Amino acid sequence: MKLLVANRGEIAIRIMRTCRELGISTVAVYSEADQNSLHTTYADEAVCIGAAKASESYLNISRILKAAQEIGANAIHPGYGFLSENPQFGQAAEDAGLIFIGPRPETMAILGDKLSARKAAREAGLLVLPGPDQPLEDNQTEIIIDEPLSFPVLVKAAAGGGGKGIRLARSGNELNEVVGLAREEAKAAFGDGTIYLEPLVQKARHIEVQILGDGKGKIICFGERECSIQRRHQKLIEEAPAPSLSPSERVCITEAARELGHKLFYRSLGTVEFLMDENSQFYFIEVNPRIQVEHPVTEMVTGFDLVREQILLAVTGNLDLEQSQIHFRGAAIEARILAEDPDENFLPTSGEISYLKEPGGPGIRVDSALYQGMAVTADYDSLVSKLIAWGKDRQTAIDRLQRGLSEYQIGGLKTDLVFLKQILESHPYQIGEITTTFLDDFTPDDQGPAESVTRDAAIAAALHIHRKRNQPVSSPDQAGNLWQQTAWKEQISFGN
């Protein structure tokens, strides 16, 4: 069997690692900007599918399917982002005779539209935030302002995802401008300017449930995750299990996710997301019909390889797991390492990685596609690595993650490593008092001069020793040479 991974970066390598364990041959696709990326070397074969612009490569359905056909792939895994939630891509893959490792295209169509997803959740008996299940039309803004409306409200893209296409209106005076901005952002990000209104839940917690369905009504739940630490509606730190949930709350939210999965006859991995208010009432938000960025924390506490289960289900059509087999052990926390500068309002950064030292030790996992000499560009998402820590309890996981963040050294590129460590060290996070507005009121301490000097000195010393060895810093072409020696790499370039 040969599987094409229609993605890049750390998630592409993550999928390929499981494929290697399963004895499945892998194909990487890459843009011209990613020619020297690590996932192209790790795969058994690699195919160039176009220019750096995502619309000409990772979002180009015809080029990806042509690559699959030319190289003889049997299956496609979309990862997360890009085309992972695109029902047209799933349908085109299946029409081409490929195994699409994801939900049915018709299910993705329902869930990809947040309004139809809300309707499906209501029909399944889930509590949904108040508001209409119809979009806000271009000429409706003034009418809605005149009607009773409780502010603040969120203006959200119906085709949204990843925190994009969401704007906050604190008053009726702001609504006109916010609606226009949200429409423009939604159209630019998703090609669809449809938006709707949703009340803002104050001091809410963002809790999600991982499910796996066989498409015939059987749903397995792998527990919940706490994803409340967010910046600009994008998750930054996630953990499993969610702290401070009572046993009854955990059962209720899990059963709600399972019920929606039954209603949809859900197939493959999916994540049902909820907001929980101050009174422990939870409301359905959406379903992400794909593998999640934060899936490692669930793997760490359950011992299951979710990608493996997803692939085996897609290939065999059977889900052999039973709910009684899912047990939970300890706690796990993930921190997203971003190429962003906290001192410059988290603007994306770029540069060449001049030095790299990833952490290790008990309970530490690194999901990354970084290597020394790698050029990090601003062409794609700023996520460059994920650091995950497991412990016998939440405090142990926090301590290990703090240690891991301290050990992580990335030279030549500004990242959020110190900022993440400051969040973990804060008293509210330590005691589990976290909400989706946590970072709105969070003021990190300045990085101490001693810590800064020590880190800079260590990196400078390591670079000096490295350069004294009479060999240049590994160029991108040399990166991953051990994989290059053991993997057959065939590069095919498609013309425009």
| Beta-ladder partners of 398 | none
Identify the bridge partners of residue 375 per DSSP, sorted by sequence position: 352
Evaluate whether 99 touches 31 at the Cβ level (below 8 Å).
no
3-class DSSP state of 361: coil
State residue 204 phi and psi, 5-degree precision: -90, 160
Catalytic residue annotation: 290
For residue 204, what are the contacts with CB-CB under 8 A and spacing of at least 6?
228, 275, 276, 277, 435, 436, 437
C-beta neighbour count of 256 within 10 angstroms: 21
Can the peptide bond before residue 199 be classed as cis, meaning omega within 30 degrees of 0?
A: no
Q: Which residues contact 393 (CB under 8 A, 6 or more apart)?
A: 330, 331
Picking from 114, 145, 143, 140, the residue whose alpha carbon sits closest to that of residue 128 is 114
- Closest Cα partner for 238 from 264, 215, 210, 218? 210
Residues 6 or more apart from 360 whose CB is under 8 A from it?
366, 407
Identify the helix (H) or strand (E) that includes residue 331: strand 331-338
Helix (H) or strand (E) holding 399, with range, is helix 394-407
Q: How many helices (H) and strands (E) does the chain have?
A: 16, 23
Report helix, strand or coil for 57: coil
Signed CA dihedral, 67, 71, 73, 77: sign only: negative
Residue of 73, 66, 63 whose CA lies nearest to 101:
73
- β-strand partners of 267: 214
Buried b (16+ CB within 10 A) or exposed e, 302-332: bebbbbbbbbbbbbeeebebeeeebeeebbb
Strand positions, DSSP E, 187-319: 195-199, 205-214, 219-231, 234-240, 267-276, 282-288
Q: List Cβ neighbours of 314 (8 Å cut-off, separation of 6 or more).
A: 75, 99, 100, 101, 102, 268
31 contacts 41 by C-beta, under 8 angstroms: no
**Alpha carbon distances (Å) from 433 to 193, 228, 403:** 36, 10, 22
